[in-house]
Amino acid sequence: MKDKVDMDEYLEALWYMKENNNMSKAKLVDAFGDDYKEEILQRLINEELITLLEDKKEVSFTEKGEALARRIVRAHRLAERLLFDAMGMSKDFEKGACEFEHTLTEELINSICTMLGHPKECPHGLPIPPGDCCLKAVKTVESSVMHLSDMRIGQSGRIAYINSGNDEEMHKLNGLQVRPGAIIKLHQTYPAYVVECEGANVAIDEDIAKNITVWRIQGSKSDAHKTEPSLTKQKKSLWCKIMGK
Amino acid sequence: MKQTDKTDKNVLILGLPNCGKSQIFSNLTGEYTLVANYPLSTINIKGAFCTVEGYCYNIIDTPGIYSLHIQSEEASMVREKILSGDVDIIVQCVDANHLKQSLSLTAELTQLSIPLVLVLNALDETARKGIWIDSKKLSYIVGVPVVESIAIKGVGTNRLKQAIETARLPKSPVIFGDVMESALSSIISFFPDSMRHRRANAIFTLLNDQYIEEHIEKIAGAKTLQDIKDTIADLKNRFQWNPAKLLSYTYSRWVDSVYDEIVKKQASAPQSFSENLAKYCRTPITGFPILIGIIIAVFFLVVEVADALTGFLEDLAWKPVEDYIKTVVIDRFWNDLLIGDYGVLSMGVAGAILTVLPILSVFYILYNILEDVGYIPNLTVLSKRIFSKIGLSGATILPMVLGFGCKTMATLTTKTLASKKERYIAIFLIAFAIPCAPQIGLSMSLLGKIGISAFFISFAILVLVEIITGLILNRIIKEDRTQVFIQMLPPIRMPNIKNIAKKTYYRLLEFLKEAFPVFILASLVLFTLDKTGILDALKVFLEPMVKGALGLPVDIVDALIVLLARREASVAIIAKMIEANMLDYVQSIVAVTLTTMFFPCVANVGSIIRMLGLRSAIVIVVVITISSVIVMTVANWCLRLVF
Model confidence over B317-337: pLDDT tens digits? 888 888 888 888 888 888 888
Looking at CA atoms only, how far is residue B481 from chain A in angstroms?
Answer: 12
Which residues of A fall within a CB distance of 8 Å from B241? 124-125
Q: Is B625 on the interface with A (CB under 8 A)?
A: no
CATH superfamily of B9-165: P-loop containing nucleotide triphosphate hydrolases (3.40.50.300)
Q: Which residue of A has its CA nearest to B246?
A: A124
pLDDT band at A90 (very low <50, low <70, confident <90, very high): low
| Mean pLDDT, range B281-309, rounded to an integer | 88
Q: Domain A145-222 adopts which CATH fold? A: SH3 type barrels. (2.30.30)
With b meaning 16 or more CB within 10 Å and e meaning fewer, what string describes B479-497? eeebbbbbbbbbbbbebbe
Instruction: Give the pLDDT score at B582.
Output: 87
Whether the pLDDT of residue B261 is over 70: the answer is yes
CB contact under 8 A, B97 and A175: no
Q: Which residue of A has its CA nearest to B377?
A: A203
Instruction: Give the pLDDT score at A141.
Output: 46
Give the closest residue to B191 by CA, choosing from B164, B222, B167, B225.
Answer: B225
Q: For residues A24 and A44, give the distance between their C-alpha atoms in angstroms, rounded to a whole number.
A: 15
Which residues, in sequence order, are CB contacts of B210 under 8 Å at separation 6+?
A: B71
Instruction: Give the pLDDT score at A165.
Output: 64
Q: What percent of chain B lies above the pLDDT cut of 90?
A: 14
CB contact under 8 A, A201 and B278: yes
Reply yes or no on domain A1-140 having CATH 2.60.40.10: no
Q: Is B553 on the interface with A (CB under 8 A)?
A: no
Helix (H, G, I), strand (E, B) or coil at A213: strand
* Range name among A59-68, A223-232, B236-245, B476-485 with the lowest pLDDT average: A223-232
Residues of chain B with CATH 1.10.287.1770: 178-265
Which residues of A fall within a CB distance of 8 Å from B207? 167
Residue B27 · residue B20 · CB < 8 Å: no
Taking the C-alpha atoms of B300, B305, B310 and B315 in order, what is their torsion angle to the nearest 10 degrees? 130
Q: Which of residues 108-137 of B touch A (CB under 8 A)?
A: 129, 131
Whether the pLDDT of residue B115 is over 90: the answer is yes
User: Mean pLDDT of all residues in chain A?
Assistant: 76
Residues of chain B with CATH 3.40.50.300: 9-165
Among A169, A190, A202, beta carbon nearest to B487: A202
- If you compute the radius of gyration of chain A from its CA atoms, what whole number of angstroms results? 20
- DSSP single-letter state for residue B114: S
Which residues of A fall within a CB distance of 8 Å from B488? 176, 200-203
Which residues of B fall within a CB distance of 8 Å from A171? 66-67, 69-70, 244, 248
User: Mean pLDDT of all residues in chain B?
Assistant: 83
Among B101, B282, B484, beta carbon nearest to A194: B282
Q: Which of residues 156-185 of B touch A (CB under 8 A)?
A: none
Instruction: Give the pLDDT score at B110.
Output: 92
- If you compute the radius of gyration of chain B from its CA atoms, what whole number of angstroms results? 28
A189 C-beta neighbours (distance < 10 Å), count: 16
Q: Which of residues 239-258 of B touch A (CB under 8 A)?
A: 240-242, 244-245, 248, 251-252, 255-256
Q: For residues B378 and B380, give the distance between their C-alpha atoms in angstroms, rounded to a whole number.
A: 5
B137 C-beta neighbours (distance < 10 Å), count: 14
Which residues of B fall within a CB distance of 8 Å from A126? 240, 242
Task: Pick from B74, B95, B101, B254 the residue to mutate for testing the A interface (most A CBs within 10 Å).
Answer: B101
Whether the pLDDT of residue A231 is over 50: the answer is no
* Range name among A145-149, A228-232, B390-394, B486-490 with the lowest pLDDT average: A228-232
| Mean pLDDT, range B173-183, rounded to an integer | 85
N-term to C-term CA, chain A: 13
Beta-sheet pairing, A58-61 with A50-53: antiparallel
B199 C-beta neighbours (distance < 10 Å), count: 17
CB contact under 8 A, B248 and A179: yes
CATH second-level architecture of B178-265?
A: Orthogonal Bundle (1.10)
| Mean pLDDT, range B214-234, rounded to an integer | 84
Q: How many CB pairs under 8 A join A and B?
A: 136
Whether the pLDDT of residue A243 is over 50: the answer is no
Give the orientation angle of helix A167-175 with respect to helix B99-109, to 10 degrees: 120
Instruction: Give the pLDDT score at B146.
Output: 93
Domain ranges, ordered by start, for chain A: 1-140, 145-222
The domains spanning A1-140 and A145-222 adopt the same CATH topology: no
Instruction: Give the pLDDT score at A232.
Output: 41
Ramachandran category for residue B392: left, alpha or beta (phi over 0 → left; psi -120 to 50 → alpha): beta
Whether the pLDDT of residue B466 is over 60: the answer is yes
* Range name among A13-17, B225-229, B364-368, B409-413 with the lowest pLDDT average: B409-413
Instruction: Give the pLDDT score at B118.
Output: 94
Q: For residues B35 and B277, give the distance between their C-alpha atoms in angstroms, rounded to a whole number.
A: 22
Instruction: Give the pLDDT score at B97.
Output: 83
